[in-house]
Amino acid sequence: MILIIGVGHVFDIREQIREIILGEMPRAVCVELDPGRYYALKNPQSRKAMTPTYRLLSHFQKRMARDFGGELGSEMLTAIDTSREAGIATLLIDADASQMFGELWQEMPLKERVMLSLSALMGLFASKKKVERELEKFTENEGAYLNEFGKEYPTLKKVLIDDRNQLMAERIAEAEARYINVVAVVGDGHVEGISSLLAPREVQAIRLKQLLAKDYPRKGPKVSEGNTEVSFQYTYG
């Protein structure tokens, strides 16, 4: 069985992530990170230089995280730390971010590159209410929202959403074949795409809206004493 948890990187949902993992006690937890991003989250001062647009997007996410009382990437680190404490295998399933953004910047047409840069710059001045409105629009009609995004930024959607959905779905399927019972923690915008790619496997989902409202099925913690290291099962070229 596969349980996919859809998260938002700017919200403080650490308590919810920990509760779900300890309640489910899967044999493996898959996390939307690659080794480089994991290391960067643990050691912010060591982050590698990225494209200017990526840095702008990162600054925007950090500011939004402060506005929403969260800390960027804290839900992913909580998933890893909770799994380690409970003796659960932890798998990093995302593409290498440095390579991905480098290739994206090269493949993106000039017009799309300029539009993205301007959008990222404008995002630095976006209000909390505007972000909440965008989240509401996404929740109300996810398919239409992503289709509109794809029309405006076709290269970005292909590389950052569609291609990653395919890669992460393949790695989640591999994890299920090996561990049987798997929880995957991914951005909420990936949940529908990954779920459809994993069909006809048994897939359940807890969405970001449920996490924020704390409205999801609850199970009592089944964690036992013990401590293991994080297990990185995948290699990256």
Q: How many independent structural domains does the chain possess?
A: 1
Q: Is residue 138 part of a domain?
A: yes
pLDDT of residue 227: 45
At 106, list the tokens.
């090269």
Cα–Cα distance, 182 to 191 (Å, whole number): 15
Q: Is residue 235 part of a domain?
A: no
pLDDT of residue 59: 52
Cα–Cα distance, 41 to 50 (Å, whole number): 15
pLDDT of residue 234: 44
| Residues 14, 78 contacting (CB under 8 angstroms) | yes
Q: Is residue 228 part of a domain?
A: no
Dihedral (Cα; 36, 233, 93, 178), 10-degree rounding: -170
Query: What are 111-143's pLDDT values in tens digits?
Result: 887 877 666 656 555 566 766 676 677 677 777
Q: Is residue 226 part of a domain?
A: no
Domain ranges, residue 77: 2-213
What pTM did the predictor assign?
0.79
Q: Is residue 218 part of a domain?
A: no
Residue segments in the chain with a per-residue pLDDT below the cut of 70: 45-72, 117-128, 130-132, 134-135, 138, 221-237
| Residues 7, 13 contacting (CB under 8 angstroms) | yes
Q: Is residue 74 part of a domain?
A: yes
Q: Is residue 191 part of a domain?
A: yes
CB atoms within 10 A of CB 82: 21
Where do the DSSP E strands lie in 121-195? 182-187
Determine what percent of the chain is predicted with pLDDT higher than 70: 73
Q: Is residue 178 part of a domain?
A: yes
- 113-140: buried (b, 16+ CB within 10 Å) or exposed (e) per residue? beebeebbeebeebeeeebeeebeebee
Cα–Cα distance, 196 to 162 (Å, whole number): 12
| Residues 23, 216 contacting (CB under 8 angstroms) | no
Q: Report the side by side order of strands in the sheet with 203-206.
A: 89-92, 28-31, 182-187, 2-7, 203-206
